[in-house]
Chains A and B, each alone.
Chain A
Amino acid sequence: MTPQKSDTTAIPFYRDERILKIIAQIVSTVVIFGFLIWAVINFLKAADARNMELSFGFLKEAAGFPISNPPIDYEPSMTYGRAFIVGLVNTLLISGVGIVTATIVGTLVALARLSSNWLLSRMALVFIEFHRNIPLLVLLFIWYFVVFSFVPPVKESLVWPGPIFINKRGVYISWPRLTDSGSTFLVLSIIGIIAAIILYIILRKRRKNTGKNTYYTPISIGLILIFSVAGWFLSGGSPFQMDIPFLKGFNYQGGLRLTPEFAGMYLSLSLYTAAFIAEVVRGGIQAVNKGQIEAARAVGLNQMQVLSLVVMPQALRIIIPPMISQYLNLTKNSSLALAIGFQEVFAVGKTTINQAGRAVPVFALIMITYLSLSLLTSFILNIYNRRIQFVVR
Chain B
Amino acid sequence: MAIKEMEQDIVRPPQPPGLVKWIKENLFSSVFNSILTVLLFPTILYLLYLVIIWVLFGANWKAVSQFPLLFAIGQYPRDQIWRVGFVFSGFMFMLGISWGRWSGLLRSIALAAGSFLLLIAVLPVQNPQLDMTMRIYLGSTILITLVGYLIGNKTRLKNAFIIAGWFVIPIVGVVLLAGFENSERIPVVHTTLWGGLLVTFLLAAGGIVLSFPLGVALAFGRRSSLPVVSGFSTVFIEGIRGVPLVTLLFMFSIILALFLPVESRIDRLVRALMAVTVFSAAYSAENIRGGLQAVPLGQIEAAKALGMGNFKTTVFIVLPQALRAVLPAIAGQFIALFKDTTLVVIIGINDFLGIGRSIINSDPEFVQMRTEVYIFMAVVYWIFSYMMSLASRRIESTMGIESNL
Contact = CB atoms under 8 A, between A and B. Distances in A.
Interface stretch (B116-124, B207-215, B336-344): B336-344
Contact of B353 (A123, A138, A287, A333): A138
Contacts of A153: none
Interface stretch (B64-72, B98-106, B245-253): B245-253
Given A116-B26, A137-B345, A287 B381 contact: no
A135 B339 contact: yes
A169 B328 CA distance: 44
Contact of B244 (A39, A129, A332): A332
A146 B242 CA distance: 32
Interface stretch (A6-14, A22-30, A178-186, A288-296): A22-30
Contact of B247 (A43, A117, A367): A367
A335 B259 contact: no
A28 B229 contact: yes
A93 to B, nearest CB: 17
A136 B339 contact: yes
A8 to B, nearest CB: 20
Contact of B243 (A123, A136, A332): A332
Given A117-B26, A138-B374, A371 B33 contact: no
Interface residues of B, number: 56
Given A137-B345, A374-B242, A353 B262 contact: no
Interface string B230-267: 00100000010111111100110011011111100000
A330 to B, nearest CB: 11
Q: How large is the interface on A (under 10, 10 to 19, 20 to 34, 35 or more residues)?
A: 35 or more
A219 B258 CA distance: 63
A199 B343 CA distance: 50
Interface stretch (A44-52, A58-66, A75-83, A234-242): A44-52
A333 B227 CA distance: 33
Contacts, number: 154
Contacts of A283: 404-405
B358 interface: no
B342 A135 contact: yes
B243 A371 contact: yes
B27 A118 contact: yes
Contact of B370 (A47, A134, A136, A146): A146
B299 interface: no
Contacts of B241: 374
A133 B382 contact: yes
B264 to A, nearest CB: 9
Interface stretch (A159-167, A224-232, A259-267, A358-366): A358-366
B41 interface: yes
A119 B44 contact: yes
Given A28-B229, A46-B258, 6 more contacts: A32-B228, A39-B260, A287-B404, A335-B247, A346-B247, A370-B242
8 contacts: A28-B226, A117-B26, A119-B40, A123-B40, A137-B346, A145-B374, A283-B405, A371-B239
Nearest 3 pairs between A and B by C-beta?
A: A118-B26, A332-B244, A135-B339
